[in-house]
Structure 1
């Protein structure tokens, strides 16, 4: 039995469209399983954990991490809160700096910049709820000077960004980023 040409064409179009939908859904669902690396893993290539490591300049086609701003200089620090709270400090004398905290899968957990901090000095403590309860029992003397951030995720990274509006300031910004601290409290 042969189908009329118009009906055959319609059935063929519906079958093709249905197959395209199935393939699209399968591709979308398998993308997370096929990604071989993450920003958290990539940052390990730039230096040790619990230390701000300068990232290379952003050059089109050879970015050290995805979606970095080429007008900024960057330093990254990987951490594991199982090892203890993480203290971030830096003095960055530029018109704008920011720090972003990301969990292991790259989702932004917290963000701060010099305008919202009200200072050119970064002084921030990152810890888990359990670590915060222990810290409250025996707080350090400078606790009131710290921005305290409580997170559930124990693995992550910090990305410190600084804007240098002029080429002659690049060395000063690089020096400030290289002396930034990401490590143990105390």
Structure 2
């Protein structure tokens, strides 16, 4: 009886370990990730407005069809990145994601920012230079430090009416993203 109980406990423990290892390694084996989908958009250092999501059509990024989206891929290894511009007078949010698709920073116009987005994105080394005043920044710039160099910014806009979507997306396309122009 005790021998059977020990075999049963051993089997459950071994099954649990195999289950956990499988769950943790499957994402590493995936060929198509959020990062690879963003890379395919060719949005390096420029804001790319995503096409509207149509009902019944594939939605690989699982985006809300009621919102308009812009995405920009950033490499802080090339230097600090800046996200700047004026968004329409409606709800918007900005989120920074790392390569794993995890949000590392997020803000909205409801945080008291208003309609102007002025975001400076720095890695740890660039933040140290900033603290030593070796990098000049504009007054009012919201400074965000990232632990990784490869990021993508996702801007979400919520047009109050479908008729306003095209105008909102035009404004979204004007958002500057990437290194500061020389």
TM-score, normalised via structure 2 length: 0.83
Q: Provide the rounded CA distance (Å) in 2 between the counterparts of 1:35 and 1:126.
A: 29
1:32 CA displacement: 1.9
Count of residues paired in the alignment: 173
Q: Provide the rounded CA distance (Å) in 1 between the counterparts of 2:49 and 2:129.
A: 32
Q: Provide the rounded CA distance (Å) in 2 between the counterparts of 1:85 and 1:26.
A: 37
Contact 1:94 1:173 survives alignment (8 Å): no
Unaligned runs of 5+ in 1: 1-6
Which of 168, 178, 185 is 2:180 aligned to?
185
**Secondary structure of residue in 2 paired with 1:144:** coil
Query: Cα RMSD between the aligned structures?
Result: 2.4
Contact 1:53 1:77 survives alignment (8 Å): yes
Unaligned runs of 5+ in 2: none
Which of 88, 99, 124 is 2:94 aligned to?
99
Q: Provide the rounded CA distance (Å) in 2 between the counterparts of 1:86 and 1:155.
A: 11
1:138 CA displacement: 4.3
Corresponding residue of 1:137: 134
**Secondary structure of residue in 2 paired with 1:122:** strand
Instruction: Call closer, same or farther: CA 1:87–1:24 in 2, change over 3 Å.
Output: same
Instruction: Call closer, same or farther: CA 1:152–1:27 in 2, change over 3 Å.
Output: closer
In the TM superposition, structure 1's runs of 4+ consecutive aligned residues that sit over 6 Å from their partners are: none
Rg larger in 1 or in 2? 1
Q: Provide the rounded CA distance (Å) in 1 between the counterparts of 2:52 and 2:152.
A: 19
**Secondary structure of residue in 2 paired with 1:78:** strand
Q: Is 1:163 paired with 2:158?
A: yes
Corresponding residue of 1:63: 59
